[in-house]
Chain A
């Protein structure tokens, strides 16, 4: 782990643990974080796992894709979609989700979190 001020790169898993163009759920203490490997674009994203619409721990099981240029994830429950970049809800009326930075180094995937969260 590399300390950066009060933030930390948390080791989530290995690249091969995450399906291409899909997500997994990462356990961080009592928190659940959805981690996505957007292989088509060579990008990684992390967000909260809970969909704010009905408070379901499900975003990691959602389909990812794009709306225009914006990368997004669709909750499997009611297909609310959220930007993977900003967390904003793209399908209307639900509050935004939290997003986190992701780093891949030597086949390991890290998520940038507050030090007291890990």
Chain B
């Protein structure tokens, strides 16, 4: 089947896209477009002036058509249609035959027959070319005017402002603005708002003549008033592009438009029409959503499916020069039985009207100006006949305190509620995609296309995604894994309450099955966070992740890295020499880490105990680089050497690092101490960061480097060292007890209801009365600290585990291989 589409606008493109999505067999598709560009987003045309390029506005690049086997002719309008022989011929002389022809020719601007419209400086507002010409002209213009006070006219007025022609008049023939969408009170308020931002509005004004020689210099109106202008945009309405159809003998309406039936068929059974060129039951649908719906119906007709167009809701919401304007359902309903509730706040420039059925149960329609946040909700309430709350005014006033949330939120909508009418996506569609892993608005846009048309439903889609995730989270997100039906926090309380000390005990008491790589390290970490006992003891070694199990970080090739603790980054020459000697003896690659210490890479499992024996002898301890634990407390050199330093940041960093070393947490923890406001220790990127002030220390918390960097937030200022440590005690313990697994403090804070203010209340103001408990729990952990590596090398049972072959303990893994790089070794690349 060979289909030709005349017109490559939004609806013409959507027809191609929807047809291709059905993956039809044996269909040849040819598109003729009059404009030189492939279809672009005309709805957001004015964004061309606020920085979007023509390419940004493209619906799909030219290559898309190619990839889908669609032949696209741009800049080549069809000039002749021969219905009898079923052929079309183009301006460039191309003749093609068709089995079916689809008109998607859209509309052109309606230009009233005013003398002088041909003068330079008079524009229409329709295509990117129009916009380009306006852009070229605007710098020369001082006073502008727009003919048309409807939706398109006000859009054009916005374009004028964007182009810098701020002294602009809007001229409307009718007695008020936007007469088709909003009522008189709404128009009045809108006019006042537009005037307050500098637009001049002339209503009931009929333009008789555009004056000037070649170039526009002014306008003359019916009451002989004149207005000096040097730029005019005519945006007074649209005119369906039906001339080709008309010439070919197709039936058209008396005021334009190609007549179609509910299958989008014209008077010729091989020709269809969709979009703004189609006239259905006496109506031209000048919005994108009904055009897309027509495309859908036309495809069904062509593929032999049963789908009919039965009219379309013309509800709309837009932002006009920063002012929300929306109307939905029947905005004017006023027959005797209808109750209208009106809220008008001239001070704030808000007008809201809702029309309610006589029984007070259903919403019939309404108007929103100045604040259209409730538009989507109201539209859905109206379309789905959702029963209104007992005080229907709540739906526009919002909840005024008290328990009830007034009207219904997205939750109350039925699954078949149409959320995105441009793409016909229902609430149920969105929910099911969320449940299948599309967990944010971008993913939803990608797989459902919801929100990609006019974009009006985006806030609502977001709400649905969030609500769905929330309802899902209760069951899926927080539960640890198939072996434990608890959240981390719940399990921590259980382990604490029942005084459990090993993974196996916890699994037997509170879990089922045999555990896995998710719950094992998590429970092992809980046990460590609660009791701070040697992590390899009580059979917990096999519940630890490989790094914790062997107290070192596994690296490419299966060797490990060794990181001794260097508190605050301070180290003596003697200790440096020991690190050098050990590295030399065991042929280790050495590198300074970002945390002011030294990492030794490439150690065989078998060598780890001997390496650590030497390090421990020299006074080193485990650096816990392998654990979800305190890593480093970075410091600048501070007042002992620095001419700017206020306090001794190194001493304080060492004190803090030694206090929290070895403590297990939901994720790794890093700290920093800076001796003055210059912040050389970069403390504000750490989980806790301390910065010296004239009077003491400022404590910042929940900072984070990593893939999504986040600055730490100020928790307390000008506190003394002792208070600072007490606050960190409370903060860390509160984090350890309440965070989800593998959640850094920044993410934890982001999810914490009430955010930093809540955290400050808990930590500083002791709002939960937990301060003392948190401090004493932390003190217990601090008191229980022993160096794990010291314990490991001194215990033959632990030590025995550090061998590669159980039946040849002295042999190293022979498959380990290194390459040479800059006089050191490196791991062999993954194969």
Listed residue (B515, B542, B808, B814) with the most chain A CB atoms within 10 angstroms of its CB: B542
* B542 x A19 contact (CB < 8 A): yes
Number of interface residues, chain B, beta carbon within 8 A = 38
For B515, the closest partner residue in chain A by CB is: A65
* B516 x A74 contact (CB < 8 A): yes
Residues on A lying within 8 angstroms of B by beta carbon are 12-13, 17-22, 24-27, 30, 32, 35, 38, 40-41, 54-58, 61-68, 71-72, 74, 76-77, 79, 81
Q: Which positions 527-579 of chain B face chain A at CB distance < 8 Å?
A: 539, 541-543, 545-547, 549-550, 554, 556-558
* A72 x B516 contact (CB < 8 A): yes
Q: A21-B539, A67-B482 are in contact. Are A61 and B516 (CB under 8 A)?
A: no
Q: Give Cα A72–Cα B517 distance, bound, in whole angstroms.
A: 10
Q: Give Cα A27–Cα B804 distance, bound, in whole angstroms.
A: 9
Query: Which one, A19, A21, A32, A77, contacts B801 given CB within 8 A?
Result: A19
* A71 x B516 contact (CB < 8 A): no
* B516 x A65 contact (CB < 8 A): yes
**What secondary structure prevails in chain A residues at the interface with B?**
strand
Q: Which residues from chain A contact B482 at a C-beta distance below 8 Å?
A: 67-68
Q: A19-B541, A24-B806 are in contact. Are A66 and B515 (CB under 8 A)?
A: yes
Q: A57-B813, A63-B521, A63-B542 are in contact. Are A41 and B807 (CB under 8 A)?
A: no
Q: Give Cα A62–Cα B520 distance, bound, in whole angstroms.
A: 11
* A54 x B539 contact (CB < 8 A): no
* B805 x A22 contact (CB < 8 A): no
For A73, the closest partner residue in chain B by CB is: B517
* B831 x A54 contact (CB < 8 A): yes
Q: Give Cα A114–Cα B514 distance, bound, in whole angstroms.
A: 31
* B514 x A26 contact (CB < 8 A): no
Query: Which one, A55, A65, A81, contacts B514 given CB within 8 A?
Result: A65
For B507, the closest partner residue in chain A by CB is: A40
Q: Which positions 780-831 of chain B face chain A at CB distance < 8 Å?
A: 801, 804-808, 811, 813-816, 830-831
Q: Which residues from chain B contact A38 at a C-beta distance below 8 Å?
A: 514
For B508, the closest partner residue in chain A by CB is: A40
**Contacts A63-B543, A66-B513 given; 4 further ones with Cβ under 8 A?**
A19-B801, A25-B813, A62-B517, A64-B542
Q: Which residues from chain B contact A65 at a C-beta distance below 8 Å?
A: 483, 513-517, 519-520
Q: Give Cα A67–Cα B554 distance, bound, in whole angstroms.
A: 25
For B554, the closest partner residue in chain A by CB is: A76
* A62 x B546 contact (CB < 8 A): yes
* A61 x B554 contact (CB < 8 A): yes
Query: Which one, B549, B801, B807, B815, contacts A57 given CB within 8 A?
Result: B815
Q: A63-B545, A71-B514 are in contact. Are A26 and B805 (CB under 8 A)?
A: yes
* B514 x A66 contact (CB < 8 A): yes
Q: Which residues from chain A contact B807 at a C-beta distance below 8 Å?
A: 12-13, 26-27
Q: Which residues from chain A contact B775 at a C-beta distance below 8 Å?
A: none
- Whether a CB of chain A sits under 8 angstroms from the CB of B729 is no
- Whether a CB of chain A sits under 8 angstroms from the CB of B504 is yes
For B524, the closest partner residue in chain A by CB is: A63
Query: Which one, B549, B558, B806, contacts A26 given CB within 8 A?
Result: B806
Give the Cβ gap from A81 to chain B, nearest Cβ, in Å.
7
